[in-house]
Amino acid sequence: MSNRAIVHVTVRGRVQGVGYRAWVEDQAILNGLEGWVRNRADGSVEAVFAGPADDVAAMVSACRKGPPAARVDDVIDAAGTADQIKLRRSGESFSVLPTS
């Protein structure tokens, strides 16, 4: 049984323009997670986290609170795939991607 998890999250609320995306990047890197984060055109933030299951679960939990200036209304999390991880930039373990 693998202890590795991949989770895809979508965060809604006041999360763009308040440092949420940068906060996600910092937290993911501090916790040694792989993946990416990006703003979405609809005002939400989307991210994929991969790593030890406990660390990924803690990151998803942290996303529910976010940085002080954010207001998180909803976090939708679902199982992610290895193909989603491949969207990150070559040579980076965690990437900030352009708005989609």
Active site residues: 21, 39
Q: Which amino acid is at 55?
A: D
CA distance 44 to 74: 10
User: 20-46: string of b/e by CB count within 10 Å (b at 16+)?
Assistant: bbebbbebbeebebbbbbbbeeeebbb
